[in-house]
Amino acid sequence: MIFRREKSKSNIALVSFYTSDYHDIGSISTINKLFYAYKHGYDMIVYQQPFYKNSIFIKPAWNKIPMVEAQLENYEWVIWIDSDAIILRHELTLEDIIEISKKADWRKKDHKIDLIISYDINAGINSGIFFMRNSEWSRNVLRRVQTSWKYLPYSMHWYAEQTPFTMEIKYGLDEHVRVTYKRVLNAYLKDYSEGIAYIMHLAGCPKQKPKYCSGIMHEFYERWKTNNVTSVSDRQLLRRAEKDFELLMENK
C-alpha cells in the first residue's frame, strides 16, 4: 500500500515489509516511518504480502530485493528500512543523509552514487537499511542478488541476501557505492548515542526473547516521540500516521 502526504508523487520513497508475526515491533516502527514520510513529503510503501514463500533457503529478508526493484523505476531514490528499525532524528531529511554519505569517502566525491549502505557489526555490510538510486547499475545489482540464492551453498544462507549483496558491491570498493557511518545510518544498541544515531536498528534481536526486543523498541519509540512530536502539527501528523496504520491493518 502506498501512503503520501500530498496528491503529487515524491521522487523519494521509503519501502518496508510488515507482517503480523512481527506486529509488536513492526506496528510502532511503521507508524514512526509514516510520520517521517508525511513530515518531509516522501512516499511510504508498505508491503504486506511476500514475493517468496518462506523456506529453508528463502528467508523473509530476501523479499526486500524484488520489493525495491519493483519501486525503483517510479522514484529517483528508494530507501529500504527493515521493520525492526526506527528513525530517531526527524530533523534530518533523506537528502541530508545522501549529502553526508557523499563525504564518507572523499576519493569518490565526483562519481554518481547509486547505493548508500553501512557496515555490519560483523564483516561485510548490513542491508537492513539502504538507499538505492534509480539507475541501470542498481537494477543490475538487484537482479544478480535476486537470482543468486539458487547458486549459494547452504552454509552461506545464514545472512540471507546480505552475503550476495556484499559480494556484489565488493565491500564498498565499487565506485557506485558509499559505505557510510554505521552509527548514523544503522546504529545498533551498542552504537547508540543520544542526538547522533539517525536510525536505530534492532538487527539480530533474538526472536526467542520477543518481550525483550519489544521493550527496547517501545523505549526508543517513546524517546522519539518526546524529542520529535512537540507541536500541534506534529501531533496531528502522528494521529494521521496512526489512522493510516489502522487502515493498513484493515486491508491486510
Check which CATH number belongs to the domain holding 190 and give it. Answer: 3.90.550.10
The sign one gets for the Cα dihedral 146, 150, 151, 156 is positive
Report the range of poorest mean pLDDT among 41-55, 113-127, 189-203. Answer: 189-203
Could you tell me if residue 100 is inside a domain? yes
Assigned domain for 78 exists:
yes
Number of domains in the chain: 1
Phi/psi at 41 (5° precision): 80, 25
Rounded-to-integer distance, Cα 41 and Cα 12, Å: 9
Residue 136 domain flag? yes
Q: How confident is the model at residue 155 (pLDDT cuts 50, 70, 90)?
A: very low
* Strand 115-119 to 125-133 pairing: antiparallel
Is the pLDDT higher at 171 or at 60? Answer: 60
Q: Looking at per-residue confidence, does 5 or 133 come out higher?
A: 133
In a domain, 189, yes or no: yes
Above 80 in pLDDT, residue 174? Answer: no
The whole domain housing 147 covers 2-247
Query: Cell triple for residue 56?
Result: 529453508
**24-42: per-residue pLDDT in tens?**
888 999 999 999 999 999 9
Q: Does residue 252 fall inside a structural domain?
A: no
Q: Say if 107 falls within a structural domain.
A: yes
- In the predicted model, what is the mean pLDDT of residues 209-214? 77
